[in-house]
Structure 1
């Protein structure tokens, strides 16, 4: 499959898992920076190959074949992120950019070798689950956004859902990394802000941050 097809299928998968769950061709076009007409044309072509389910004016859906393809691409992407982070300590933004390129050049054999080298990780450095070789996500996501966390409790950062460089630079500078512990000092409900304590520092975050930083309760 071409890079364009792989990116198209991956975009449908990821958008289908997002909060907006918008997989209409026009929205997929925006994600991929292509025209709506090009997205519709691609969807129709992939429907003929039993990769996508296409109905006019309806959201796009992946077939079983398409879902398996998407999970294979996602697996390779997240394994590369994990490897680059381990070997070179690149920023979360940089590993994402590089993995976007490398995922398309990676065979199933190489993906398996990378996974074995890393100890078959279940999560990448962003906290996103890594599908196994059979295209299955075996972990159960119990995380919640920081905006929903309770005052006075401690949590473990489990996911950082973004590809924005400034976001990751801020997180890195303030210790907001996957696996680190944060304590919720105060939830400012009306202003949609959250005051947290981390590494003996106090930080106030707005909803732009607290809705894309996910945590699990620190039991």
Structure 2
């Protein structure tokens, strides 16, 4: 079942548990991919029959070892393409997601390896998401979601969700990007790099992860 549709399902399941532990449900997949629940149910059954996911009716969905391996491979492609577009072509971090969605399915393995080598084998993409290596391995530091950070918590920005391009631009406008030092007052207010406290854009609390 080698197809972009299958890869998109596996990638969605993989993404869901990267930064929290709860497994994804069919209804959540339907929302993320913009599909009818009945279509998701049918595809999940096919993925289970192929040994790529574990699933019980109306229950959460997980990846099997084979599904994890395949998901990591497509995630690797996507994130290397995003990194390539930012470093080599001057794209902004808010501009690369949609381009990578297209290109990840078009690149040969040879070209992908060349991109990885040219970029110096990067471990993280422009949004701070870990790039799996060729064996699917990743490394992440201990983290905390901004919404869950205690008042007074200080840490570096590890990751910013790429789901909302407008939010990415708004965060950059207030000085928040990957690697930036932040001190949290509450979920709506923080100081960046020792500067004054400032109001964070709406949605930032659920889109920014800091070092724990």
**What TM-score do you get using the length of structure 2 for normalisation?**
0.88
Is 1:107 equivalent to 2:138 in the alignment? no
**Partner residue in 2 for 1:135:** 136
Give the Cα separation in 2 of the matches to 1:140 and 1:51: 24
Within 5 Å, which residues of 2 pair with 1:1-219? 1-19=2-20, 21-137=22-138, 139-147=139-147, 148=149, 151=152, 154-182=154-182, 184=183, 187-188=185-186, 192-198=187-193, 200=195, 202-205=197-200, 208-216=203-211
Task: Decide whether the 8 Å contact of 1:127 with 1:160 is kept in 2.
Answer: yes
Question: How big is each residue's C-alpha offset from its partner over 1:133-175, in whole Å with a ceiling of 9 and x where there is no partner?
Answer: 01111x1322223341552x75322211232011111122222
Task: Give the 3-state SS of the residue equivalent to 2:103 in structure 1.
Answer: helix
Cα RMSD (Å)? 2.3
Task: Give the 3-state SS of the residue equivalent to 2:209 in structure 1.
Answer: strand
Following TM superposition, the consecutive aligned residue runs of length 4 or more in structure 1 with deviations greater than 6 angstroms are: none
Give the Cα separation in 1 of the matches to 2:155 and 2:80: 26
C-alpha distance 158-149 of structure 1, shift in aligned 2 (>3 A): farther
Unpaired runs of 5+ residues, structure 1, are none
Task: Decide whether the 8 Å contact of 2:180 with 2:192 is kept in 1.
Answer: no
Number of residue pairs the alignment of both structures matches: 210
Give the Cα separation in 2 of the matches to 1:103 and 1:12: 17
**What TM-score do you get using the length of structure 1 for normalisation?**
0.85
C-alpha distance 197-53 of structure 1, shift in aligned 2 (>3 A): closer
Give the Cα separation in 2 of the matches to 1:117 and 1:149: 40
Give the Cα separation in 1 of the matches to 2:49 and 2:198: 52
